[in-house]
Structure 1
Amino acid sequence: MTIENSVDKKSIWSAFGRLLRQELLPVLTDLRLAIVMLLAIAIFSVTGTVIEQGQSLAFYQANYPEHPALFGFLTWKVLLTLGLDHVYRTWWFLALLIFFGTSLTACTFTRQLPALKAARRWKFYDEPRQFQKLALSAEVDNGSVNSLTQLLQNRRYKVFQEKDDSLYARKGLIGRIGPIVVHVGIVTILLGSIWGAMTGFVAQEMVSSGNTFQVKNIIDAGPWATAVSKDWSVRVNRFWIDYTASGGIDQFYSDMSVLNNQEQEVDRKTIFVNSPLRYRGVTFYQTDWGISAVRVRVNKSPIFQLPMAQLNTNGQGRIWGTWIPTKPDLSEGVSLLTKDLQGTVLIYDATGKLVDTVRTGMSTQVNGVTLKILDVLGSTGLQIKADPGIPVVYTGFALLMLGVVMSYFSHSQIWVLQKDSRLYVGGKTNRAQVTFEREMLEILDKLSLPSKDEEKAVAIEPHSA
């Protein structure tokens, strides 16, 4: 019974192996299928770029309403059902990447590697009729195999010679390796993308100048994402904005320090748009700004730092405001409004009447007290990302570029046979056919006779490959 079970298992595995080779592999290595998968990956990648990823439900309900639906069908329900709010981590997109990578791997092992193995083998021709099947062949009345050896070596051909009457030479074998490197590069990019999607995260923080924070407000994360290490934090030393002469924003900056557990500075950088801070695989981008607080003094009181909140203007610009009591019992007070960090503050009384307009450092009289505006404090809006797959993707991209360059090298082969006082020369190449023909002619031209007055009879006949 044991022997019979063993035989049955072997038969099953044998049948399964034949099924893979005969049915599955031809499908996986089909070029048309690979092109379709590549186009699908490109389309869904564009979708993930156009549709905002990792936003809240309220965001999608506001931007993709049911009435009217975008393009007549794209609503927030459709978007969330298909996973278009996190395209790069959906099961179907990851399955598409894995299937495409499997197809490339199968093609590499079933086509590219055998082609490279065949290109590394050489075979000597021993009959003149064998030269007729070559793309280019010639018959030379004089000359010898040995005289061609040095000429070919000077042109970087690797020469193999078994006898004095036959020769095989090749160059550009790197061109056969190039497609394999391209496949390895693409598969590496796919693996890096999958790893980054499963282990990366995106967070957002709005931090006031002078405050220290740790990354906690994670809005989107992969299922394998690990929490940010708690042994370091970030302090926003200062936030400021440079304005143009017309009052528009030119650039905003954040001076940031990375602190260890002992609050010692281990890294520091002033970031701005397109110039982030990177530390331990976490990248801090400057993406937004706001006004966090205003510092004031009433008469000779201590300095108060009051938070400012952004007001709802129905899309008519950004304004921040706060309320300051002018009596100890909080029965009276004024409202302060500002729209930027240029230092201009508007003061309104309880009836909504504009009382005064002051700049930071100035004082004014309101409700019988002296109110001095000392400073308006800004806050920096940071987008924080961690993508462990980026180094893998960059490595794959480098391999891809290297493989493309390698693929441009022509793989050229030349055979030589000396028989019956005639020299037969033939060759073929996988690309740059005209250049190869010129090279063949130059080689044959150098097989000249000792006398300059005599001419060498050379007949070159092109043949179909």
Structure 2
Amino acid sequence: MSLNSATPSSWKDLPRQYFQRELLPLLADLRLAIVLLLAIALFSISGTVIEQGQSLAFYQENYPESPALFGFLTWKVILAAGLDHVYRTWWFLALLILFGSSLIACTFTRQFPTLKAAQKWSYYSQLRQFEKLAMSAEVDAATLDGLEPLLRRKGYRLFREGDRLYARKGLVGRIGPIIVHASMILVLLGSIWGAMTGFFAQEMIPSGETFTIQNIFDAGPWAAPQIPKDWSVRVNRFWIDYTPEGNIDQFYSDLSVLDAAGQEVKRKTIHVNEPLRYRGVTLYQADWAIAAVRVQINNSPILQIPMGQLDTGGAGRLWGTWLPTKPDLSEGVSLIAKDLKGTVLVYDQDGQLISTVRAGMATEVNGVRLTIAELVGSTGLQIKADPGIPIVYTGFGLLMISVLMSYVSHSQVWALQQGKTLYVGGRTNRAQVAFEREVLDMLDALSAAPHPATAEA
């Protein structure tokens, strides 16, 4: 039918026909699926290599314009392309959706028809049909009645009509690929849902302080309901275990989750690889710092002086503060610490080291007695919420099961009785050698069975 002679009703069918004839085969094309999968893998690697959800200053410092990394990768390129939040960019989500559409198209155009065809059965009534099979044989003085129990013992399901027989097994192997596709679609849906509704935050909290999650670095457009507003977290204590050589062995945070009334609803001591989970939010132990030093000057009350991290040019981590030793602030000392072991270095105004003091000890500086009570640590927490994780885990669980199902061979056997001769043939979609050995064993058993006439004699 030409376009000029098309009726109004046929014009309405054109979009559907174009989709079925052009777009659907393109979406179901294996080559397109491979290209999309490679693109998703490539951009996922970039999201792993390039730090995600950092501040503008971080990218300007680590990806300067001169010299540009690889000659082109600068902070401007990263921000313009969305490489600072790869998994939430429109183009990455579009790749996931397109890949999922390709899987769905392949499932409905190939996998379901293949399963439907495998569920049907037909009988062979012509010898030339057996000649087309990869494996066929003829057995003299054998019957279908003798073949049936052998097939049943091998797990075949039998269909018989007169002198014709059809047997099959391993239909689950045809269902496996469909579940593989379904599980991959679940993983994609979980990833998209997590990207749209999850968030990532970082907090540095001193021991003894209570905080609510506020320092959010990265969040999806629908993440607001996931950010807790009716509960908070108290850092009961933070401490570090050191090895005999003085290196950090592990650092710990004793955390309490408090409800809106300030009552403790959950408590746990976390460390690296052992987080605290509450209402879909996970708190990981990620970093540490020195928040303050508690000191006493002569007989004064104990004062808590904040400490800040010093710029050492990459030579190590140091924290320091300045402590006045006179009321008019005309004199003072600098206090430096590098860990929470309790050792504090005391420097005068000229930068000369005048004393080394441990927690609980005192020293004389500028005519006063300075006592170091303790160093107060801060725990660095990474806080994440990803509502898509249960969906992703479900998809991966189904994927492992369905992959095992896909390895099951779908085997078919046909048989035709003509006089005293039995014609047998079969085929399988995988494990051809094992299938041939199985059929040959049945044929050997069939040939070795006594002929009915011989048994009567």
Matched residue, 2:181: 183
Aligned-partner residue type, residue 385 of structure 2: A
Q: Does 1:286 align with 2:279?
A: no
| Distance in structure 2 (CA, Å) of the matches to 1:13 and 1:176 | 36
Deviation, 1:358, is: 0.8
Task: Look up the match of 2:49.
Answer: 50
Quote how far apart the aligned CAs of 1:31 are.
1.1
Partner of 2:111: 112
Give distance in 2, aligned partners of 1:10 and 1:437.
55
Residue matched to 1:252: 251
Residue by residue over 1:213-251, the C-alpha shift from the partner in whole angstroms, topping out at 9 and shown as x without a partner, is 111110111111124222211111111111222222222
Deviations 1:319-343 (A, max 9, x none): 1112223233433322211111011
Alignment partner, residue 265 of structure 2 = 266
Matched residue SS, 1:231: coil
Query: Under a length normalisation based on structure 2, what TM-score does the superposition of the two structures give?
Result: 0.94
Higher deviation after alignment, 108-117 or 343-352: 343-352
- How far apart are 1:315 and its partner, in Å? 2.1
Contact kept, 8 Å, 2:187 with 2:393, in 1: the verdict is yes
1:458 is matched with none
C-alpha change, 1:8 and 1:303, in structure 2 (3 Å) is farther
Q: Find the residue that maps to 1:26 and give its secondary structure.
A: helix
Higher alpha-carbon deviation: 325-334 or 141-150: 325-334
CA distance in 2, matches of 1:451, 1:74: 81
Matches of 1:438 and 1:302, distance apart in 2? 90
> Does the CA contact (< 8 Å) of 2:139 and 2:447 recur in 1?
no
Aligned to 1:4: none
Q: How does 1:311-390 map to 2 (within 5 A)?
A: 311-390=310-389
1:304, distance to aligned residue in structure 2 (A):
1.2
Q: 2:211 aligns with which of 210, 213, 220?
A: 213
Q: 2: distance between equivalents of 1:231 and 1:398? A: 34
AA aligned to 1:91 is W
Change (3 A) 1:330 1:441: same
What does residue 199 of structure 1 align with? 197
Aligned with 1:443: secondary structure? helix
Say yes or no: does 1:298 pair with 2:297: yes
Unaligned runs of 5+ residues in structure 2 are: 1-5
* Aligned twin of 1:97: 96
CA deviation after TM superposition for structure 1 residue 447, in Å: 1.3
Please name the residue that 1:157 is paired with.
156
Distance 1:179 1:449 in 2: 40
3-state SS, counterpart of residue 446 of structure 1? helix
Other structure's SS at 1:347 match: strand
Helix, strand or coil at the partner of 1:114: helix
Matched residues in 2 for 1:319 and 1:251: separation?
A: 19
Does residue 60 of the first structure (1) align with residue 59 of the second (2)? Answer: yes
Q: How does 1:221-232 map to 2 (within 5 A)?
A: 221-227=219-225, 228-232=227-231
Cα shift readout 1:198-222 (whole Å, capped 9, x = no counterpart): 1111101000111111111101111
Deviation at 1:361, TM superposition (A): 0.6
How does the TM-score come out when normalised to structure 1? 0.93
- Measured after TM superposition, the shift of residue 257 of structure 1 is 1.5
| Secondary structure, counterpart of 1:447 in structure 2 | helix
Shift of 1:449: 4.9
CA 1:94/1:219 → structure 2, altered by over 3 Å: closer, same or farther? same
Amino acid at match of 1:323: W
Which amino acid in 2 is paired with 1:213? F
2: distance between equivalents of 1:71 and 1:379?
A: 37
One-letter amino acid of the counterpart of residue 441, structure 1: L
1:98-138 C-alpha deviation (Å, 9 max, x unpaired): 11110110010000000000000001112222211111111
Q: Deviations over 1:347-397 (max 9, x none)?
A: 122232222111001111222222211110100111111111111111111
For residues 397 and 100 of structure 1, the distance between their equivalents in structure 2, rounded to whole angstroms, comes to: 17
RMSD, aligned CA: 1.8
1:461 equivalent in structure 2: none
In the TM superposition, what is the alpha-carbon distance from 1:170 to its structure 2 partner? 0.6
Tell me how far apart the structure 2 counterparts of residues 402 and 8 of structure 1 sit (CA, whole Å): 51
Structure 2 residue 24 is matched with structure 1 residue 25 = yes
What amino acid does structure 2 have at the position aligned with 1:444? L
Amino acid at match of 1:375: E
Partner amino acid, structure 2, of 1:153: R
Residues 154, 127 of structure 1: alpha-carbon distance in 2 compared, 3 angstrom cutoff: same
Which letter maps to 2:197? T
CA drift of 1:308 comes to 1.1
Q: Distance in 1 between matches of 2:217 and 2:86?
A: 15
Residue-by-residue CA offset, 1:410-432 (whole Å, 9 max, x unaligned): 00001111112211111100011
Tell whether 2:453 aligns with 1:442: no
How far apart are residue 9 of structure 1 and its match? 6.0
Map of 1:131 onto structure 2:
130
Q: How many residues align?
A: 447
State the match for 1:39 in structure 2.
38
Task: Specify whether residues 449 and 247 from structure 1 end up closer, same or farther in structure 2 by C-alpha distance, changes over 3 A only.
Answer: closer
The code of the aligned residue for 1:105 comes to I
Corresponding residue for 1:415? 414
Structure 1 partner of 2:235 = 236
Deviations 1:55-87 (A, max 9, x none): 111111111111111111111111211111111
Alignment partners' CA distance in 2, 1:186 and 1:208: 43
Of the structure 1 ranges 103-112 and 303-312, higher mean CA displacement relative to structure 2 is found in 303-312
More divergent stretch after superposition (255-264 vs 53-62)? 255-264
Can you give the 5+ residue segments of structure 1 that lack an aligned partner in the other structure? 1-6, 456-465
| Percent identical residues | 68
> Residues 437-463 of structure 1: CA distance to partner in whole angstroms, max 9, x if unpaired?
1000111111145559x99xxxxxxxx
Q: Distance in 1 between matches of 2:449 and 2:403?
A: 45
